[in-house]
Structure 1
Amino acid sequence: MDIVTFNVNGINARLPALLQWLAERRPDVVCLQELKAPQEKFPLAAIRDAGYGAIWHGQKSWNGVAILARGVDPIEHRRGLPGDPQDEQSRYIEAAVSGILVGCLYLPNGNPAPGPKFDFKLRWFERLSVHAQALLDSGLPVVLAGDYNVMPTDLDVYKPERWLDDALFRPEVREAYRQLLGQGWTDALRAFHPDERIYTFWDYLRNSWPRNAGLRIDHLLVSPSLAGRLVGAGVDKEVRGREKASDHAPAWIKLSPPAP
């Protein structure tokens, strides 16, 4: 089973590119972020024509998350991250697909830091950690995939010294990510590329893509019951270089079938 996370940076603006990639890659499950579309503007007909069922949580102009599943409809389990009934931002959705619980998330950026947006990011991270622990306690096979807006280590950013005060790289955020992994999750990309500078995002500015001035901010975390089934992980980097591309590239994992 191939599970992919992909921040599309506007699903309707980049729909042709998304459909081309789906036809070429044919992943089993896709977690999308930054739909930037209200609920009623999600292109369901085009996604279904491409062979995918979908659930989504839209929001006008900003945010938005979706889970696509090839040949089946994801079974929605949760919409929105628990812990703050006042939080109306569309940043989390969860569904069961082929015996695996998939959480798709878009963690807040948090800039400028320090400030209210950074405080919100840390609170959202705390809520994610509480929910992640509950998912582990359930014993279910779980993947938490999405744009975490955090570079966990120096290997995940092209020039760490330039990012020390950024909300994606501040010590508080990296520590929150470290504590999340400490619950027992496996960072799948890092498990297969422990010493490699591997990126998932290249800004549109400053010629970042041609210079390979990237960041690794898109992550797939797997629960202990799935870690033994990991057989591959990587980034479809070439997608970032296409016409009208998102500033992110798809990051993926491959799981072997469950033991009989």
Structure 2
Amino acid sequence: MKIATWNVNSLRVRLPHVLQFLQDEQCDVIGLQETKVDDDKFPEDEIRKLGYSCLFSGHKAYNGVAILTRDESVAVSDASFGIPGYPDPQKRLAAATITAQSGASFRFVCGYFPNGQAPGAAKYLYKLEWFCALRSAIEARLRTDPNLILVGDMNVAPTDEDIWDPEGWKGHILVSDAERDAFNSLIALGLTDAFRKAPVTEGDWSWWDYRNNALLRDQGARIDHTLVSDPLVGKIESVKIRRAYRELPQPSDHAPVVLELSL
């Protein structure tokens, strides 16, 4: 089974890239972030023509998440949006139970984690609070769904290996101690960063700033993640960052990440 995550940074702008990705990769489940589109403008018809169903929760111009599922390979149930028990007008989380043709199932959670702006800023405090609320929700869900996959633009480079210039970025947003602690609090629930456990990996970074020729200089960070719960770790086959989509004309600043599991 192929499972992807991609911050598309405006689905309406990047729709041709997404449609190309669906055709090229034939993923079974895809979590999208920063769709930046109201629900009544979501391009469901174009996506359905390629054999995918859509769950989405969006808002014009910012945030927004979606889950796309391949009709011929998986069934979807129990969809939900937002963090249970955490009222938040920002559209940042979607979840559903995915069942493969083999009968194997897992809870799939797609999140667009807050950026935080800068350590100490109000948005930074919101980011840490959001992480805490999500951790509680995931902890509760794991009691009933031990098979769980959490994906998304998590806006954290969890180790120095995940940022192009660790010393230069030290203490900045994406790599501050509190953000890394928040990320590790999810790992402590029994989740694993699949990229670090995969027998086969591809790429180093999933995000390159639009500014300062960051892509050409390969000055990036790995902030888009696929976390899997303990029962699924042994089923990881590969995790590949598809940099080619970042190199297309008018790209998102993120590349899709594709996780393959033997399910």
Q: Same fold (TM over 0.5)?
A: yes
Aligned equivalent of 1:36: 36
Which one has the bigger strand percentage? 2
Paired residues of 2:58 and 2:91 also in contact (CA < 8 A): yes
Aligned equivalent of 2:8: 8
Letter in 2 for 1:82: P
Aligned equivalent of 1:165: 171
Paired residues of 2:194 and 2:228 also in contact (CA < 8 A): yes
Paired residues of 1:39 and 1:56 also in contact (CA < 8 A): yes
Number of residues paired by the alignment? 256
Q: Equivalents in 2 of 1:197, 1:45: separation in Å?
A: 32
Equivalent in 244, 247, 250 of residue 241 of structure 1: 247
Deviations along 1:213-241, one digit per CA (max 9) or x if unpaired, are 11100001111121121111121111111
Q: Find out whether 1:46 has 2:64 as its counterpart.
A: no
Paired residues of 1:5 and 1:146 also in contact (CA < 8 A): yes
Q: Secondary structure at the match of 2:68?
A: strand
Change (3 A) 1:140 1:184: closer
Paired residues of 2:201 and 2:240 also in contact (CA < 8 A): no
Q: Equivalents in 1 of 2:109, 2:257: separation in Å?
A: 15
Aligned equivalent of 1:121: 127
Aligned equivalent of 1:148: 154
- After TM superposition, give the deviation of residue 169 of structure 1 in Å: 0.9
Paired residues of 2:32 and 2:65 also in contact (CA < 8 A): yes
Letter in 2 for 1:198: D
Aligned equivalent of 1:55: 55
Unaligned runs of 5+ in 1: none
Aligned equivalent of 2:111: 105
Q: Secondary structure at the match of 1:241?
A: coil
Paired residues of 2:195 and 2:201 also in contact (CA < 8 A): no
Deviations along 1:169-196, one digit per CA (max 9) or x if unpaired, are 1100001111211111010012127999
Q: Equivalents in 1 of 2:52, 2:209: separation in Å?
A: 29
Aligned equivalent of 1:82: 84
Identity rate, percent: 39
Unaligned runs of 5+ in 2: 100-104
- After TM superposition, give the deviation of residue 126 of structure 1 in Å: 0.2
Q: Secondary structure at the match of 2:258?
A: strand
Change (3 A) 1:76 1:46: farther
TM-score normalized by structure 1? 0.94
Letter in 1 for 2:160: D
Q: Secondary structure at the match of 2:127?
A: helix
Aligned equivalent of 2:231: 225
Equivalent in 179, 183, 186 of residue 177 of structure 1: 183
Runs of 4+ in 1 over 3 A off after TM superposition: 193-197
Equivalent in 113, 137, 144 of residue 143 of structure 2: 137
Deviations along 1:101-130, one digit per CA (max 9) or x if unpaired, are 100001100013212110000000001111
TM-score normalized by structure 2? 0.93
Letter in 2 for 1:78: S
- After TM superposition, give the deviation of residue 88 of structure 1 in Å: 0.7
Q: Secondary structure at the match of 2:108?
A: strand
Q: Equivalents in 2 of 1:234, 1:155: separation in Å?
A: 16
